Structure 1
Amino acid sequence: MNYRAYTGLVLIALLFTTLANAQYKEHAPLNEPDFNRPRLFEKLPAEIPVSTAELNRLLSGEITVGKQANTGDADAKLSPFKGTVVSAAKEQKMRSVVIRTEAFNGATLTLSSITNPDGTVTYRGRIISFKHGDAYELQQRDNQYVLVKKSFYELVYE
């Protein structure tokens, strides 16, 4: 009869030891950052100024998925990023488009515009490829929009 009590105590002690041990293990992240990814935009400048007219041109009019994006004339700063519209959305105060570029191994240009309550328009966007280590983020500086080159892991947390 004492063997049952002794066996039960040993099993309970083993269970507590296992649970306590499991709490002290460090779990590895799902994806380790790969800082050696190739750079897609290496030959491009660190900053590319973009006019609001260019941004508005990409988001205005009839945007059809599967068609070429209207990046404007050859002098436009975004002309190297022309490609096919992958996704488009239009709501009352928001417009968004995703363009897969042809010149940069399928990187995507994601661009959104939001009409604020005071009537001003704010643009957000980025150009990114999940296979490469660099990207561009659209930032507003002194009433001018600029695509700023960043590291992939500055924009995406895995």
Structure 2
Amino acid sequence: MSTAPAVQRRPLPAGQQRPRLRVVPPRRVRPAKTPFVLLVLGLLAVGLIALLSLNTALARDSFTRQQLETRSQELAEREQALRQELARLQSPAVLAQRAAEFGMVPGGNPAFLDTRDGSVLGEPTKATAPPTPPAVQPPAGTPTSPAAPAVLQPATRPQGGATR
């Protein structure tokens, strides 16, 4: 055990009292405000920049989405128009008219060949062109103009092609 050195007290002059000692609270040390303010301002600036970039990206994507939806609608309308045109072109009346333009005529009664014995089933008939309508003659006394419409001629058969 070690002993602490003894503290010696000095005698005070007469009439004086010893001052009373008391515990002084520790001195408060305030941290500097500047780094904290800079940190808060930096976080605020980063947040605002991030929010602005996010808002810009969303607006750009919104315009892109709107353009794509418009394009999709246009393509859907075009597809519908093409389907209607295809249905019109596949109608029997249009097919008959186009076949006549190529010189094709409706077939007669079909005949079938039996490959087992080579017999013919049914009576085949030759396909003939339907009669052409007579040309319309202008009434007597009506002058004919050179710009009068020409009378339609029956379609000619394509050269070297097979008919159906």
Q: TM-score, normalised by structure 1?
A: 0.25
Q: Which has the higher contact order (CA 8 A, sep 6+)?
A: 1
Report the structure number with the largest CA radius of gyration.
2
Q: Judging by fraction of residues, say which structure has more helix.
A: 2
